[in-house]
Structure 1
């Protein structure tokens, strides 16, 4: 039983960011004597999402990946593109497997403590106070994954596109999927003139995740997703008989809202609440790993925790992309077709990973050169 009320570090929220951070603390001997608490009202055991990401070679999560691929398909209304991902591999992990593996590692550490409680407020001071429904705790530093209330009240002042989706994991009676290829984006079935596409991850010849996704300013009702998933399975995949094993859904903010401004000297916003989700794509898994690695080094070197956490040029690129998607949402298919058709995998992934050279960035810009991007550039430049 844990009777402590004071810690070196408190992590509010046991999601992707909180657990990544706790694992980095646990696996670095520098923090072996530090007392660390994770506070969440949930025990985090449900399979509430799927995380997918690309990386080169072997990775630290290979023991729990559900499936990996080295070839992807892209479909626009006009063409099909087959993408050889080498030297990258695309990997997918079920959230429940990640939660279980993270907790297994963390529970072996005597200096890491799980507290099941609801955080009500975090009070900023030289030694912040975390007040929960049943207790109060202090720490030298708090990492808070709760999204600020200002996001909901002030979002209209910023560019906002929501990546929202629903997916079915289906199982068929006969082999119909090619488990060696996944579908990154398929625009052959769309909801009007909006940026909507289907994403397919085949886990085996008879089992796959089929997900209908929107990159739009507004959301839709549950039945709309179901209608398009059902239509895609029937009309595109030509599958008549199948059963739904699981469903998943989500809403990811793609926005230039300044989440990072809500961190202070002793309280850092993390995850979505800290602006760690890449604004132009919604990708978070590998970006979270990178942010956590920077935080750990900052703490070890006694630097301000948020030092070098963001690269301003990529935030600017994301703003332009979001402006186009927001103002001319029907252009999404064209944007992604140009992106995948005119750039190498290495160039694209390095750009999305925020590791690109200036030459690679110029190649990306050239492939997307259009009046929409020119307008978005000047609107963004003069309002930055």
Structure 2
């Protein structure tokens, strides 16, 4: 067996961001760090979006940003400024280029292209078994979701944010690239929570993403037809598809962190770092990696890192509602955006609000609906 001070399993957003932060931190300069994955990502395989106030750490690789958002449904529509926030977009290839570049001259950091089959907690350390080798360490940071146990259990709802996106280029200038369509619920709901998400980053280029918050994925053609129908309704007929993306993110309050141990911590989606009520992941990873760096420097047990908060319960109540009555999504989000300023919504979803602010927010939501969900969850 080969020993490293730290082993990062999985070189996606969470694994690479941890490696990037470790490379910048002098504490880890004399520590051996191994990154394992079946491939080294360099292509644009996904897009991450997040809101943020003022300048941020990732601004040098932003593909585009917006200071206004558009929300629409059958009952409510609005265009609103989100200042001092901006809604920011990063493409996968730019993120990979930035993070890999930060690692290339670090002699203490090694990447090996080896599929990982198993991670085991031993008495005093943990082991990682790959197709080629066995490694051991007292600090294993795993971002690979090896199990679908969260889908098999019944204690917590397990929805998905699932989507197909087309990057569209038109001959004419069709788009206002100063405003992002955050949620367009005008698409047929079909007893689900379905919306179109539109990010115009040029006057003639935009990402159109057909998105659902629901338990079951759709056949690919249903997403495709949904996008094509939407484009037709918007009078966009002369276009080319320059890129495509597809994804599915768990939306669940399942306690992934209970699988952490003294020497193994699950990070990213496999650690429950995706925001359960929205599926947004990048900004959570950004925050959590900073916190985990601090935790590692204190050399504490990895199983003590996660702390459950009141926001875990808030997310759970929404998921309980959508799991039972998935068609209510449009009305819930419509009331939220109608009655609450987007800045306050963002602050709440960033888990930065006070209890007074949260009471104000819930007073403007469907109180009876959420009260019933709370009572059911308690009893």
Q: TM-score, normalised by structure 1?
A: 0.95
Instruction: Confirm or deny: 8 A CA contact 2:45 2:92 kept in the other structure.
Output: yes
**SS of 2:292 mapped into structure 1:** helix
- Give the drift of 1:370: 3.5
User: Which residue in 1 is equivalent to 2:165?
Assistant: 167
Q: Distance in 2 between matches of 1:307 and 1:28?
A: 22
The answer for the alignment partner of 2:276 in structure 1 is 279
How much has 1:350 moved relative to structure 2? 1.1
Q: In the alignment, what sits opposite 1:68?
A: 65
- Cα gap change, 1:377 to 1:153, in 2 (>3 Å): closer
Alpha-carbon distance in 1 for matches of 2:245, 2:96: 16
Q: Secondary structure at the match of 1:225?
A: helix
Structure 1 partner of 2:102: 105
TM superposition shift of 1:101? 1.1
SS at match of 1:368: coil
**What 5-or-longer segments of structure 2 have no aligned partner?**
none
Q: Does 1:201 align with 2:186?
A: no
Counterpart position of 2:23:
26
Cα distance in 2 between the residues matched to 1:77 and 1:191 = 11
Whether 1:350 and 2:347 are equivalent positions in the alignment is: yes
* 2:307 alignment partner in structure 1: 310
Q: CA deviation at 1:307?
A: 4.0
**Residue segments in structure 1 that go unaligned for 5+ positions in a row:** none
Contact 2:292 / 2:305 at 8 angstroms: preserved in 1?
A: no
Q: 1:124 aligns with which of 111, 117, 121?
A: 121
Shift of 1:306: 4.8
Match of 2:37 in 1: 40
Contact 2:264 2:303 in 1 (8 A): no
Q: Where do 1:1-384 residues align within 5 Å?
A: 5-125=2-122, 126-149=124-147, 151=149, 154-235=152-233, 237-307=234-304, 309-382=306-379
Per-residue deviation, residues 150-189 of structure 1 (Å, max 9, x unmatched): 5266334421111111010000010000010010000111
Contact 2:150 / 2:158 at 8 angstroms: preserved in 1?
A: no
In the TM superposition, residue 94 of structure 1 has moved relative to its aligned partner by 0.6
Aligned-pair CA distance for 1:207: 0.2
For 2:228 and 2:342, the matched residues in 1 are separated by 31
For each residue in 1:86-142, what CA deviation from the matched residue of structure 2 results, as whole angstroms up to 9, or x when unmatched? Answer: 011110001111111110111121111111001111121212111110111111210
- Aligned residue for 2:345, secondary structure, equals helix
SS of structure 2 residue aligned to 1:196: strand
Q: Is the 8 A contact 2:267 2:273 kept in 1?
A: yes
Deviation at 1:381, TM superposition (A): 2.1
Q: CA deviation at 1:311?
A: 3.7
Secondary structure at the counterpart of residue 55 of structure 1: strand
Q: Counterpart of 1:203 in 2: which secondary structure?
A: strand
* C-alpha displacement of 1:312: 2.1
* RMSD, matched Cα: 1.4
Q: 1:295–1:306: 8 Å Cα contact kept in structure 2?
A: no
Q: State the TM-score, normalizing by the size of structure 2.
A: 0.96
Q: CA deviation at 1:273?
A: 0.7
CA contact (8 A) 1:328 1:372 kept: no
Q: Work out the CA distance in 1 between the residues paired with 2:302 and 2:242.
A: 43
Distance 2:220 2:189 in 1: 14
Whole-angstrom CA distance in 1 between matches of 2:72 and 2:53: 25
Quickly say closer, same or farther: Cα 1:165–1:39, change in 2 above 3 A: same
* Structure 1 residues 81 and 306: CA distance shift in structure 2, 3 A: farther
